[in-house]
């Protein structure tokens, strides 16, 4: 099966890299890019061929659209004249409904909407998958298999994709932000930056492993760190005082709203 990534930026590169690490043959992967320097860089790094959209449409069984939502219109215009009935279109674009692709591409084109995240780079993606109205169960399974090789996959109704985009799509950025802020706290306390980074990154990795492998609820895990009369509860009091929980609720709601807005920009 040949997979072409249309728009090999951050998420497109993460997919290419993740698939190669998972054992995909570079010869079965293609990508398109609008800047020749970027295409050359990717080919040098991964041994994957950069092609024109026409060649991708002709050769690939799965076309993964990974351009910014704002760049979708010209790409759809180009694709509409190129793809055949056997092409399966997978969109990773935040906010864009499958109905947009179905309206703009030849009648009956199967479309699957996916919200992945950048941990795909290290085989630890969370991808949520929703089938459009022409995609068959078999095509959905093909996409699930493809994405399972680079992380975990859930199948969800498309109505939940904007929420998913804010939760797991953007989620890694919020964890990185937290780690960055905690490293800054180390600097404030006079710990050398490299040491602070090592301490916090390992705390994050350890916490992540406990969340994944231990099966315990995050509340229990936090309580186990919070000794009576100890240090952690002082920190928790400050987090509560500063409204960090409410800030996270607002942040994720706002990201969801932006996903909805990106989709609305392409309504007829």
Counting DSSP H helices and E strands in the chain, the numbers are: 12, 8
In whole angstroms, what separates CA 115 from the centre of its chain? 5
Which of 227/254 has CB closer to ligand NDP? 254
Considering only the stretches 10-18, 139-147, 223-231, 248-256, report the one whose residues sit in contact with ligand NDP under the rule CB under 6 A: 10-18
By CB under 6 A, tell whether 17 contacts ligand NDP.
Answer: no
Q: Mark the segment that binds ligand A1CAB (CB under 6 A) among 1-9, 43-51, 106-114, 165-173.
A: 165-173
Residue from 119, 155, 141 nearest 11 by CA: 119
Round to whole Å and give the CA distance between 88 and 142: 10
Identify what 132 binds: ligand A1CAB, ligand NDP, none; CB under 5 to 8 Å per kind: none
Closest residue to bound ligand NDP by CB: 9
One residue of 94, 96, 135, 153 binding ligand A1CAB per CB under 6 A: 94
Nearest Cα residue to 108 out of 84, 130, 129: 84
C-alpha–C-alpha distance, residues 258 and 231, integer Å:
38
Q: 155 pairs with which residues across the strands?
A: 129
Is residue 169 part of the contact set for ligand A1CAB (CB under 6 A)?
A: yes
Helix axes 244-264, 232-241, angle to 10 degrees: 50
Q: 151-155 and 125-131: which strand pairing?
A: parallel
**Of residues 164-203, which lie at the interface with ligand NDP (CB under 6 A)?**
169
Contacts of 204 (CB under 8 A, 6+ apart): 175, 178, 179
- Residues within window 81-140 making contact with ligand NDP, judged by CB under 6 A: 92-94, 115-118
- x-or-dash string of contact with ligand NDP, 21-60, rule CB under 6 A: -----------xxxx--x----------------------
- Identity of the residue, 54 or 199, whose beta carbon is nearer to ligand NDP in the bound complex: 54
First to last CA, the chain: 34
Q: Could you say which of 39, 165, 167, 183 contacts ligand A1CAB (CB under 6 A)?
A: 165
Q: What gap in Å lies between CA 263 and CA 163, rounded to an integer? A: 13
Enumerate binding residues for ligand A1CAB (CB under 6 A). Answer: 94, 165, 169-170
Enumerate binding residues for ligand NDP (CB under 6 A). Answer: 6-7, 9-12, 32-35, 38, 66-69, 71, 74-75, 92-94, 115-118, 169
């Amino acid at each position: 099966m040949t997979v072409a990534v249309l728009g090999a930026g951050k998420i497109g590169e993460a997919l290419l890299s993740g698939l190669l690490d998972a054992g995909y043959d570079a010869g079965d992967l293609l990508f398109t890019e609008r800047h020749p320097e970027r295409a050359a860089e990717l080919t040098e790094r991964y041994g994957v061929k950069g092609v024109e959209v026409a060649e991708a449409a002709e050769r690939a069984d799965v076309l993964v659209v990974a351009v910014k939502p704002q760049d979708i219109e010209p790409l759809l215009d180009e694709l509409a004249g190129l793809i055949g009935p056997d092409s399966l279109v997978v969109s990773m674009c935040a906010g864009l409904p499958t109905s947009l692709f179905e309206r703009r591409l030849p009648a009956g084109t199967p479309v699957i909407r996916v919200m992945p995240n950048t941990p795909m780079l290290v085989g630890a993606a969370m991808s949520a998958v929703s089938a459009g109205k022409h995609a068959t169960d078999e095509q959905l399974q093909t996409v699930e298999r493809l994405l399972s090789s680079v992380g975990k996959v859930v199948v969800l109704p498309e109505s939940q994709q904007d929420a998913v985009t804010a939760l797991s799509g953007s989620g890694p950025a919020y964890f990185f932000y937290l780690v960055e802020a905690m490293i800054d706290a180390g600097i404030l306390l006079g710990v050398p930056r490299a040491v602070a980074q090592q301490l916090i990154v390992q705390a994050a990795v350890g916490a992540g492993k406990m969340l994944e492998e231990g099966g315990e609820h995050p509340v229990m895990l936090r309580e186990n760190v919070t000794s009576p009369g100890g240090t952690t509860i002082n920190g928790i009091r400050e987090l509560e005082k500063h409204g960090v929980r409410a800030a996270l609720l607002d942040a994720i709601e706002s990201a969801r709203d932006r996903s909805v807005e990106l989709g609305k920009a392409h309504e007829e």
